[in-house]
Amino acid sequence: MKYLSVYLVSMVKFFGGPLTGVSLGLSYTETVLLTMAGMMTSVLIFSVVGRAFSKWMSKRRRAQRKPVFCKQNRRIVLIWRRFGVRGIAFLTPVIFTPILGTIVVALFGTSRKHILIHMFWSSLFWSVTLTFMVTEFEKAAVRLF
């Protein structure tokens, strides 16, 4: 049940995986692997759904003829233009959710192979980093109290 909790939380909100894993007493390695698995499951699912969503949205936008850009969309496009798929992948775990980051990259027409590769290294980097930070914070908090 502990494993499933970390896995499911990581699918929706990446940062919650390390927090949940450490708070449930899982080892560092277990927490890292479950957090990565949760994010990559979301990436697999939503890289397929993202393409279908893109087609649906473009049909809907043509019918409504509303402006596409709001403040959040402009920021995403700015990140995309400056850094491409690597920038979105890098920021997905900490700023976006795995779901939103994957859909954004899919909407920009990135191939599924590139989505998986870049989201994988991002999930590896951030799961190791965030789990380490949460573990160290917990150790410091225990020493204080």
| pLDDT score of 68 | 62
Average pLDDT by stretches of 10, the chain with 145 residues = 93 91 93 95 87 72 65 78 88 88 84 92 95 91 80
Q: DSSP character for 96?
A: S
Indicate the pTM of the whole model.
0.80
Rounded-to-integer distance, Cα 6 and Cα 52, Å: 28
Please give the tally of structural domains in the chain. Answer: 1
| pLDDT score of 78 | 82
Rounded-to-integer distance, Cα 36 and Cα 10, Å: 8
* Spatial CA neighbour of 119 closest among 85, 94, 96: 85
Q: What is the largest CA-CA distance in the chain?
A: 60
Reported as half-sphere exposure (CB side, CA atoms, 13 A), residue 83 has a value of 14
| pLDDT score of 65 | 64
Q: Which domain holds residue 135?
A: 2-144
Q: Are residues 59 and 68 in contact, defined by beta-carbon separation less than 8 angstroms?
A: no
